[in-house]
Structure 1
C-alpha cells in the first residue's frame, strides 16, 4: 500500500484494542536459503514456504531451489545492460575422484583436477577456488585457509576421516567442511574382515612363501603357516560407529564372540547386534583379536602404546583399518618382538606412505595393505557421488547432513525448520540494532515456545542463525553459519537457551522465538521489559517471519525490507501524520501494525517501508509532538 493512501485508510482502523496488521505480500511465497556463496551466509527469499507447509520428498530440494530462483528472476525487471550472469563456482579436486562425482561437479561449476600438488603449490592456487575436494593424502592446513583469503567456501573430504583438515582453522575462516561417511562403510568393513581372516590363516605370508620358494625348490611349507580359528574367539571392536557395527555383524556370522568399546555408542544398537559394550581396559585385556575403528583425535592419538599393549592378552592379534595415528608404531614393533602381539594387519599408517625403512612394514608378523579400506569400485563411485552432492549442495546454500564443523540437521528436521531460519536471523539482527552500543553486548537469552518435548526440539541451527544475526551488524569479521559460534565466543558473547511448553499445534516445531539482550541500554526504550532486558518475539505465519512482540507491546508485522518503530501518545491521526511525511518523501509503506497497552495513553506503531528514508524525513518524524521515540531498523 502506497504511503499516500494511508490517510484514506485510517478511517478503516476503528478497533485499536489489538494489533492491526495492514500489510500486503507479493504473490507466491518466500523462505530461507543459507548461502555459502559469499563470505557470510545470507538469508535470501526463495519460495519454499509452500514446501515447509507441504514438505517435498527427500531429493527434491535442488529442483525446489531452481524453481525458486526462476521465480525470483522472473519477478525482476529485465535490463540487458545491467543483468550479468553469476560466475560458476570453481572446484579444485586434488586427488583422484570417480567419474560419476566429477560429472556431477562439472554440471554445476568449473572443475580443475590437479593431483599430487605440493603444499606450496596448493597454497599458491587455492585462492582461485570456491571449493576443494580431497581424500586422505592432501593436508588442508591453516596455511591453506590463510592463502585462500576468504575465497574458499567448502572443503569436501571424500571419505570419513577428517584429521587431514584443520577444522579449527576452517571454522575460523568460515569454511564449511563436509565428508562422505556412508558410501565406503561396507567396503571398509569388508576389508577389515578380510585382514582379520587373512591374518588368522597367514594368507599373505603363505602366498609370498609359495611364490618365492616353490620357484626354486618345487616344495611348499605347509606346516610353517598353521593359523588359528575364528570360531569362539573374542573380537574387541574399538569404536562402534558405522564401520565398527558392520564388522561386528560379519564377525558374529563367523561365530566370534564380539565385544565393543565406544563411550558414545547407543546401547540399544549394540544389543540389537548381540554385542556387549565394555570398558576400554576390559576390551583390550580379554580380546583375542582387536579391531580398531576409532577416529584420530587428540584423545585417541597413539592411544595404543606401550602401556596399552602391556595390558593385552599375550598372543593378541590387531587389525587397523581406521587411522594410522591411533597406534604408536614403535610401541607396536616392541610388542610384536616381545610376543605380546602375535600378529598385526594394517591398512593405515601414521605417515602415508610409510618410509622405506619402516620396521613395522618389514616385520614378518605384520600384514600390510596400502590404505585400501575404501578401494572397491562400488565404494569409489559411491564416495565420489556422495562428496560431490555435499559440495554442490553447500555451494548452493543447502545445509548438509554431513557437515563436520556446522550444525548437522537431518533433511526431515530441515524441512520443518526452514521457515524459522529466516525468523531467527531477523530477530538477532533486530535485537542488536535496538541495543545502544551493540558491540557491548555480552549476554543473550533465547526462549523457544513449543508444544513439543524439549528433548526432541533441535535448536542448534536456529541458535546459530540468531548468533549470526546479532554479530554480523556489529563485527567487521565475515560471519556465517560455520564460524558464528566461534566468533561469539571470541567476542565474549554468552548465549543461553530456554524451552517453554506452550499450548500450540504439534505440527509446528516452534510456536515462538523470543530474544532478550541484558545489561545494555536500548535505542528504543519501549523494547525494554521491566527487568531492563531488550525483548523481541517472533512467529512464523503462512511460512513468513513475523515480529509479534516488542517489549510489552503486541504487534504483527512481516519481517522484510526496512522497519520503523514509533512510540507515541495514543491519539487519533498519528497513522495519517506519519504516513503523509513518508509519502511526501516518496517512501513507500508496505505494511503497518498499531498496538497499545492502555487506551489513550501510549501506543506503538510498526511500519514497514520499501526505501530507507533520508535524514530530513527522519527529522520531520522526530519533530511530531506526540511521538516520544522512534527507531529505523534495517532488516
Structure 2
C-alpha cells in the first residue's frame, strides 16, 4: 500500500450544477471516502441461528432471479423446490428458517403449525400478501415481509399492454395470420381515445396505469374507498362510487388485493349493471372475478372482451372454457415479470443512502434536520423514473446514524413524518440519452448549522451531490467546491483504501492524504495536479 498527499487552496471557481467533480471543503474535514474499484469480499449479512456457526436454511418455493439466489447462497443453505403441494410444503417447512414465495404458494396456518416454531420469516417476492395467513404468522412469531414497489411499473405496463392488445385484437389477428388467413375486417378492434377507463383499486399500480391511460387519451375514473382525493386529482382521475363506476365504464381494469371484501367483486349481479360491450382487464388477483359469471357475461355480450393475466387456479385447466374463449386474451401471470425492474437503480440506491448519511453528519448536532430537498437530474421524463426507493434510502441515511430507528422502504415515509422531517423532491430533465436512469442526485439541508464551513453552499445550505460511474457511487459535490480526485483515480483503476483530511490553519489550506494499493503513474499525478483547487501533489 502507498500513500500520497496534496495541498488545497480555496478557489473562486464554482462548479456548474451539471459538472461531474469531486467536491471538498477546503477549510474543514469532510467525513467521507473515495469510491474504490474493488468491493470487499468479506461483506456478508449476519444471520443468528440456534446452532453455533450453522447456516440457516431458506426454502425458495417459486422461481427467483439468479442474482437473488446467488446472494442467498452466500450466507445460507438454499433449497429451491418449486410447485410443491400443500402436503409437501408442510413436510419440508420444519427444516427451514425462512420461506420465500411469490403469488402462487399459499402459506396457510397448517404451514406455520408444521414448522414447529423454526420458521422465522416469510418473504413475499412482490406486493400482495393475501396468500399468507397473517394472523397465524403473528401467533407463531414469524415475520412476513414483502417488496411493495418491486413490480409496480412492470404490472402497470403489462396492464396497458393487455388493454391495447385486447382492444385491437392483436392476439387473435396474430393467430389468424399464422394460420394462413387474412381477415382484416374481422379484427378491426375499437379505439381508446375518449373512452372511459375504470380503475378498481387506485394504489401504486392503479396510479401508474392511470398516468399511462391518460396519455392514450382515455377518461379515467377510479373506485377505491381508501384512495386520497388529492392524489387522484393530481393525476387527473375522478373518484366515483362503486355503482356509478361499473355503470359508466367502457373499460374496467382491476388493481386490488384479494380480501374477503374483494373476493368475486365482479359477479353476475355486478355484470348485469354494466354497459353492454364493456371490456375487462385483470392483472391483480384471479379471485376478484367470479370466472363462471364472467364466462356467462362474455357469452351474453355484456362483456365484449376480457384480458386476463391471473386466474383463480394457476395454471388454469387446459380445457378451461374461459381461457379458450375467442374473446379472451390471456397471459401466464406475467404482470410482475421484468428483468430490469430494480437492477438499473441498484447503484443509485447505494448512492442515495450514502448521501443521506454524509449530509446528516455534516450538521452540527446531527438531529436538527427538519427540511430536505432532493434533486434528481435525469434524461428521462418524470413518468419514466420512480424515485420512491431512492427517497426511502435517503431517508434511511438521514435518520439511522442519529437514532436507533430501523428504516426501510416500507416505513421510510412514515418515519420521516413521525420525526417532523419534511422531504421535497425536484426533477431536472436534461438533454441526452435516457439509457441511464439518473445523471446525479443532490441533497440540500436548509436552516441548519454545519460543523464544517466548507460544506455550506453559497445560499447557506448544506449541499451534497453524487453520481454513479462505472457502477460505483461517487461523491461529486460538498458545498460549492469541486476537486475531481476520486473520478481521476477511478478512471485509472487505482484502488483507494483510505482518505484523511486535516487543516494547516483554520480557514486556510487543507491537506489530504490518500492511501492507494497501486502506485499512480506520472500522467495520473499530473492530471490531479492540474486541478485548479490543488496547490501541490506529493507522492513518496
2:242 to 261, 280, 283: 280
Q: Does 2:317 match 1:355?
A: yes
Match of residue 345 from structure 1: 307
Shift in Å, 1:327? 0.2
Shift in Å, 1:233? 0.7
Deviations 1:465-490 (CA, angstroms, capped at 9, x unpaired)? xxxxxxxxxxxxxxxxxxxxxxxxxx
1:247 to 209, 213, 218: 209
- 380 and 113 in structure 1: CA distance in 2 versus 1, 3 angstrom threshold: farther
Deviations 1:483-515 (CA, angstroms, capped at 9, x unpaired)? xxxxxxxxxxxxxxxxxxxxxxxx9xxxxxxxx
Shift in Å, 1:68? 13
Shift in Å, 1:207? 1.1
Take 1:90 and 1:168, find their aligned partners in 2: how far apart are those partners? Answer: 24
- 196 and 68 in structure 1: CA distance in 2 versus 1, 3 angstrom threshold: closer
Take 1:255 and 1:377, find their aligned partners in 2: how far apart are those partners? Answer: 29
- 414 and 296 in structure 1: CA distance in 2 versus 1, 3 angstrom threshold: farther
Contact 1:100 1:381 (C-alpha < 8 Å) held by counterparts: no
Contact 1:99 1:381 (C-alpha < 8 Å) held by counterparts: no
TM-score (norm 1): 0.48
Shift in Å, 1:313? 1.1
Deviations 1:539-576 (CA, angstroms, capped at 9, x unpaired)? xxxxxxxxxxxxxxxxxxxxxxxxxxxxxxxxxxxxxx
Q: Does 2:283 match 1:312?
A: no
Shift in Å, 1:413? 9.4
Match of residue 210 from structure 1: 177
Take 1:381 and 1:190, find their aligned partners in 2: how far apart are those partners? Answer: 17
Shift in Å, 1:420? 7.8
Shift in Å, 1:365? 0.9
Match of residue 415 from structure 1: 400
Match of residue 410 from structure 2: none
Structure with the larger helix share: 1
Please list, as runs of the form range in 1=range in 2, the aligned pairs for 1:422-441 lying within 5 A after superposition: none
Match of residue 64 from structure 2: 97
After superposing the two structures, state which structure 1 stretch, 177-186 or 143-152, moved more: 177-186
Deviations 1:184-231 (CA, angstroms, capped at 9, x unpaired)? 11111111001100110111111111122x1xxxx4111111211011
- 362 and 67 in structure 1: CA distance in 2 versus 1, 3 angstrom threshold: closer
2:77 to 103, 110, 114: 110
Query: 5+ unaligned residues in a row in structure 1: which ranges?
Result: 1-54, 57-62, 70-83, 386-401, 403-409, 422-454, 460-506, 508-635
Shift in Å, 1:248? 0.6
Take 2:128 and 2:405, find their aligned partners in 1: how far apart are those partners? Answer: 32
Contact 1:158 1:383 (C-alpha < 8 Å) held by counterparts: no
Take 1:412 and 1:349, find their aligned partners in 2: how far apart are those partners? Answer: 41
Take 1:67 and 1:376, find their aligned partners in 2: how far apart are those partners? Answer: 27
Take 1:458 and 1:145, find their aligned partners in 2: how far apart are those partners? Answer: 36
Take 2:344 and 2:138, find their aligned partners in 1: how far apart are those partners? Answer: 27
Shift in Å, 1:274? 1.0
1:123 to 61, 67, 90: 90
Q: Secondary structure at the match of 2:89?
A: helix
Contact 2:60 2:79 (C-alpha < 8 Å) held by counterparts: yes
Take 1:458 and 1:380, find their aligned partners in 2: how far apart are those partners? Answer: 28
2:194 to 220, 224, 232: 232
Take 1:265 and 1:412, find their aligned partners in 2: how far apart are those partners? Answer: 29
Shift in Å, 1:242? 0.9
Take 1:373 and 1:137, find their aligned partners in 2: how far apart are those partners? Answer: 13
Take 1:205 and 1:154, find their aligned partners in 2: how far apart are those partners? Answer: 44
Match of residue 592 from structure 1: none
Shift in Å, 1:118? 2.3
Match of residue 155 from structure 1: 122
Match of residue 171 from structure 1: 138
Q: Secondary structure at the match of 1:128?
A: coil
Take 2:44 and 2:268, find their aligned partners in 1: how far apart are those partners? Answer: 60
Take 2:346 and 2:45, find their aligned partners in 1: how far apart are those partners? Answer: 28
Contact 1:92 1:131 (C-alpha < 8 Å) held by counterparts: yes
Q: Secondary structure at the match of 1:377?
A: coil
- Aligned-residue RMSD, C-alpha: 3.6
Query: 5+ unaligned residues in a row in structure 2: which ranges?
Result: 1-30, 33-39, 348-387, 389-394, 407-415, 421-447, 449-540
Contact 1:180 1:383 (C-alpha < 8 Å) held by counterparts: no
Q: Does 2:310 match 1:325?
A: no
Take 2:402 and 2:143, find their aligned partners in 1: how far apart are those partners? Answer: 20
Take 1:384 and 1:300, find their aligned partners in 2: how far apart are those partners? Answer: 35
Contact 1:91 1:130 (C-alpha < 8 Å) held by counterparts: yes
Match of residue 139 from structure 1: 106
Contact 1:153 1:175 (C-alpha < 8 Å) held by counterparts: yes
Shift in Å, 1:341? 0.7
TM-score (norm 2): 0.56
- 458 and 322 in structure 1: CA distance in 2 versus 1, 3 angstrom threshold: farther
1:199 to 161, 166, 170: 166
- 383 and 298 in structure 1: CA distance in 2 versus 1, 3 angstrom threshold: farther
- 377 and 318 in structure 1: CA distance in 2 versus 1, 3 angstrom threshold: same
- 383 and 361 in structure 1: CA distance in 2 versus 1, 3 angstrom threshold: farther
Shift in Å, 1:91? 1.0
- 382 and 301 in structure 1: CA distance in 2 versus 1, 3 angstrom threshold: farther
1:293 to 239, 246, 255: 255
Take 1:375 and 1:127, find their aligned partners in 2: how far apart are those partners? Answer: 30
Larger radius of gyration: 1
Aligned length in residues:
330
Which of structures 1 and 2 has the larger relative contact order (alpha carbons within 8 angstroms, sep 6+)? 2
Take 2:110 and 2:336, find their aligned partners in 1: how far apart are those partners? Answer: 28
Please list, as runs of the form range in 1=range in 2, the aligned pairs for 1:6-85 lying within 5 A after superposition: 85=52
Deviations 1:575-597 (CA, angstroms, capped at 9, x unpaired)? xxxxxxxxxxxxxxxxxxxxxxx
Contact 1:98 1:380 (C-alpha < 8 Å) held by counterparts: no
Take 1:264 and 1:458, find their aligned partners in 2: how far apart are those partners? Answer: 25
Q: Secondary structure at the match of 1:349?
A: coil
Match of residue 221 from structure 2: 259
Contact 1:262 1:277 (C-alpha < 8 Å) held by counterparts: yes
Take 1:201 and 1:228, find their aligned partners in 2: how far apart are those partners? Answer: 6
Contact 2:127 2:150 (C-alpha < 8 Å) held by counterparts: no
